[in-house]
């Protein structure tokens, strides 16, 4: 059995060696630090830092990849179409009809190498439609990598704090920002990484109206599609449907990632669904960057072609099979990922029992839902201070500062810590609480 706390001098040495600030540390640096510290202190850590799928992929996907590769001998030597294989384009349109109740054509559905790739191209096109609307506005806190993309593209970044501004306040604040006519796109995820806040239908309706009024593109990053477990969004063709801005504006791109919903992160596949009207629209300024004025054409020939020239075909078949089975009601992915909600509910209880509070605890009038992530805080401590203390007790999570919030705390991702380890979690959190109390926290 490990004795806690671990050696704080050793931890300081590693923090110095890695030249990191625990308040600002990003996920990759943190992984290296935790790996080093865990190895030298011979401790198995409870890894709450990674936002990666923690349940295995269903066999359906890999088996479909194997099947198509073994049956079609020419597949590996054939370049994929830039805009995706017809099967996936069709399956995506059927899927969004079944689960979002929106009508799009197969041509409007474009596979990308993960949602990251879709977000990158969506920003590049949406942010360059007009000379001066080169700002990407975020609903924060959010996924820091999207902002790295904004910087990489030479676009500007702005944000609205989603916790301080909900409902009417959010809409007012948004109108203030959009009326400057400098914003090209609004980007959000709902459920939100890192807080698990979920936008409500009323909010999406008003957001949609403003996107139309000010000609701004909504980039709806559905990395956690259908995963607001308070509702059952898993019955094809039947309400409730996952709320989407697509019901309220023609200025949208919805990015659906296979990574978390189907635990298919390693095969790097997602689909960007572009509003049929927007797809056909022409913008003079796009010509300069993409040799075409047409939005959809710019996405495929100006975006996909020069970046990856398409998506590997066997993962496209896997995602087709998963979409097809889900839309027919033969496969219910939500039954599997619901595990994350159960884990979160139990883990939150343990932290609460030992003096930790939820950093984000309200979703409008309701308590925040249980999902892939939750956030914790300890009175009087910055995220970095809390992380340092957690590391001494064999636990890691990511500090909130890099996600674009001024609130101090830690994001806990429950995906890699199964419930069998919750006895050990309780033991460590209890000892951490006792330790913090001795330091006056
Ligand atoms: C909000 C958000 N968007 C996008 C991604 C990345 O998705 P993908 O693996 O499809 O690139 C993540 C992954 O954590 C995420 O949290």
Edge-to-edge strand list for the sheet holding 270-274: 109-112, 270-274, 252-257, 217-222, 183-188, 135-140, 156-161
Task: Please tell me whether residues 160 and 291 are part of one structural domain.
Answer: yes
In a domain, 63, yes or no: no
Angle separating helix axes 422-438 and 383-392, nearest 10 degrees: 120
Concatenate the DSSP letters of all residues of 58-108 into one string: PTHHHHHHHHHHHH-TTGGGSPPPTT--HHHHHHHHHHHHHHH-----GGG
Among 302, 328, 354, the domain-final residue is 328
Kindly list the protein residues whose Cβ atom lies closer than 6 A to any atom of ligand 1: 51, 114-116, 143, 189, 193, 221, 223, 257, 259, 265, 270
Quote the ligand 1 centre to 222 CA distance (angstroms): 8
Is-contact 35 62, C-beta < 8 A? no
Q: Determine which residue's CA is closest to atom 15 belonging to ligand 1.
A: 223
Quote the ligand 1 centre to 260 CA distance (angstroms): 8
Quote the ligand 1 centre to 281 CA distance (angstroms): 28
Task: Please tell me whether residues 251 and 340 are part of one structural domain.
Answer: no
244 sits in which H/E element: none
pLDDT tens for the chain, 441 residues long, are 789 999 999 999 999 999 999 999 998 999 999 999 999 999 999 999 988 998 999 999 999 999 999 999 999 999 999 999 999 999 999 999 999 999 999 999 999 999 999 999 999 999 999 999 999 999 999 999 999 999 999 999 999 999 889 999 999 999 999 999 999 999 999 999 999 999 999 999 999 999 999 999 999 999 999 999 999 999 999 999 999 999 999 999 999 999 999 999 999 999 999 999 999 999 999 999 999 999 999 999 999 999 999 999 999 999 999 999 999 999 999 999 999 999 999 999 999 999 999 999 999 889 999 999 999 999 999 999 999 999 999 999 999 999 989 899 999 999 999 999 999 999 999 999 999 999 988
In a domain, 73, yes or no: no
CA distances from 243 to 199, 204, 222 (A): 8, 8, 11
Q: Determine which residue's CA is closest to atom 14 belonging to ligand 1.
A: 51
> Alpha helix locations (H) across 5-59?
8-18, 27-40
Task: Please tell me whether residues 317 and 347 are part of one structural domain.
Answer: no
From the list 416, 438, 418, 436, the residue with the least C-alpha distance to 428 is 436
Task: Please tell me whether residues 376 and 297 are part of one structural domain.
Answer: no
Is-contact 207 248, C-beta < 8 A? yes
Give CA torsion, residues 263, 332, 316, 123, to 10 deg: -70
Among 286, 302, 328, the domain-final residue is 328
Q: How far is residue 324's CA from residue 60's CA, in Å, rounded to a whole number?
A: 11
pLDDT for res 93: 98
243 sits in which H/E element: none
370: DSSP letter: P
Q: pTM for this structure? A: 0.96
Strand 109-112 to 270-274 pairing: antiparallel
In a domain, 68, yes or no: no
pLDDT for res 360: 94
Q: How far is residue 269's CA from residue 439's CA, in Å, rounded to a whole number?
A: 47
Residue with tokens 């360059």: 128
129: DSSP letter: S
Is-contact 195 144, C-beta < 8 A? no
pLDDT for res 163: 87
Task: Please tell me whether residues 205 and 301 are part of one structural domain.
Answer: yes
pLDDT for res 440: 87
Task: Please tell me whether residues 424 and 282 are part of one structural domain.
Answer: no
184 sits in which H/E element: strand 183-188
Concatenate the DSSP letters of all residues of 295-329 into one string: HHHIIIIIIIHHHTSS--HHHHHHHHHHHHHHHHT
From the list 358, 380, 376, the residue with the least C-alpha distance to 439 is 380
Quote the ligand 1 centre to 115 CA distance (angstroms): 6
Give me the domain span that covers residue 117: 79-328
In a domain, 377, yes or no: yes
From 193, 318, 416, mutation site for ligand 1 pocket: most ligand atoms within 8 A of C-beta: 193
249: domain CATH number is 3.40.640.10
Among 328, 363, 382, the domain-final residue is 328
In a domain, 338, yes or no: yes
Q: Determine which residue's CA is closest to atom 7 belonging to ligand 1.
A: 115
Quote the ligand 1 centre to 114 CA distance (angstroms): 8
Task: Please tell me whether residues 207 and 314 are part of one structural domain.
Answer: yes
372: domain CATH number is 3.90.1150.100
Q: Determine which residue's CA is closest to atom 12 belonging to ligand 1.
A: 223
192: DSSP letter: P
**Counting Cβ atoms within 10 Å, is residue 165 exposed (0-12), middle (13-18) or buried (19+)?**
middle
Task: Please tell me whether residues 240 and 154 are part of one structural domain.
Answer: yes
Task: Please tell me whether residues 105 and 227 are part of one structural domain.
Answer: yes
Give CA torsion, residues 142, 143, 149, 150, to 10 deg: 0
Is-contact 138 157, C-beta < 8 A? yes
Quote the ligand 1 centre to 119 CA distance (angstroms): 9
Quote the ligand 1 centre to 256 CA distance (angstroms): 9
From 121, 221, 224, mutation site for ligand 1 pocket: most ligand atoms within 8 A of C-beta: 221
pLDDT for res 1: 72
First to last CA, the chain: 26
Q: How far is residue 139's CA from residue 146's CA, in Å, rounded to a whole number?
A: 12
In a domain, 66, yes or no: no
Concatenate the DSSP letters of all residues of 415-429 into one string: TTS-GGGHHHHHHHH
Is-contact 124 150, C-beta < 8 A? no
- Count: domains in the chain: 2
pLDDT for res 246: 98
Quote the ligand 1 centre to 28 CA distance (angstroms): 15
CA distances from 92 to 103, 158, 252, 273, 375 (A): 11, 31, 16, 8, 33
Task: Please tell me whether residues 97 and 228 are part of one structural domain.
Answer: yes
Task: Please tell me whether residues 228 and 365 are part of one structural domain.
Answer: no
pLDDT for res 69: 97
Task: Please tell me whether residues 163 and 278 are part of one structural domain.
Answer: yes
399, two tokens: 């500090």
Q: How many CB atoms lie within 10 A of CB 64?
A: 21
């Amino acid at each position: 059995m490990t004795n806690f706390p671990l050696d704080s001098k050793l931890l300081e040495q590693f923090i110095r060696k890695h030249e990191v600030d625990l308040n600002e540390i990003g996920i990759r640096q943190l992984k290296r630090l935790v790996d080093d510290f865990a190895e030298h202190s011979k401790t198995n850590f409870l890894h709450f830092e990674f936002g990666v799928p923690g349940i295995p992929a269903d066999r359906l996907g890999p088996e479909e990849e194997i099947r198509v590769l073994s049956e079609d001998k020419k597949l590996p030597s054939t370049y994929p179409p830039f805009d995706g294989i017809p099967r996936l384009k069709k399956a995506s349109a059927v899927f969004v009809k079944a689960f979002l109740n929106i009508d799009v054509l197969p041509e409007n559905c474009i596979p990308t190498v993960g949602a990251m790739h879709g977000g990158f191209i969506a920003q590049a096109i949406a942010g360059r439609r007009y000379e001066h609307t080169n700002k990407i506005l975020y609903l924060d806190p959010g996924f820091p990598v999207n902002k790295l993309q904004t910087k990489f593209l030479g676009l500007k970044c702005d944000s609205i704090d989603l916790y301080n501004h909900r409902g009417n306040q959010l809409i007012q604040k948004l109108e203030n920002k959009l009326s400057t006519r400098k914003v090209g796109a609004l980007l959000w995820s709902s459920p939100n990484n890192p807080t698990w806040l979920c936008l409500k239908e009323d909010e999406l309706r008003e957001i949609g109206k403003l996107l139309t009024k000010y000609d701004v593109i909504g980039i709806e990053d559905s990395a956690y599609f259908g995963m607001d477990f308070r509702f059952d969004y898993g019955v094809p063709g039947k309400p409730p449907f996952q709320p989407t801005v697509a019901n309220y504006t023609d200025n949208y791109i919805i990015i659906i990632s296979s990574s978390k919903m189907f635990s298919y992160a390693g095969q790097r596949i997602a689909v960007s669904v572009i509003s049929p009207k927007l797809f056909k629209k022409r913008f003079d300024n796009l010509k300069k960057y993409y040799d075409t004025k047409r939005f959809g054409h710019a996405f495929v020939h100006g975006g996909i072609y020069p970046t990856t020239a398409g998506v590997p075909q066997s993962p496209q078949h896997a995602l087709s099979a998963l979409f097809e089975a889900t839309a027919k009601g033969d496969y219910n992915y939500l039954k599997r990922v619901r595990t994350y909600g159960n884990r979160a509910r139990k883990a939150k209880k343990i932290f609460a029992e030992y003096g930790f509070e939820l950093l984000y605890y309200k979703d409008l009038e309701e308590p925040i839902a249980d999902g892939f992530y939750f956030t914790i805080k300890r009175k009087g401590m910055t995220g970095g201070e809390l992380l340092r203390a957690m590391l001494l007790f064999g636990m890691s999570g990511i500090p909130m500062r890099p996600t674009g919030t001024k609130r101090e705390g830690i994001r806990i991702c429950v995906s890699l810590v199964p419930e069998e380890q919750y006895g050990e979690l309780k033991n460590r959190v209890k000892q951490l609480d006792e330790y913090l109390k001795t330091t006056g926290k």
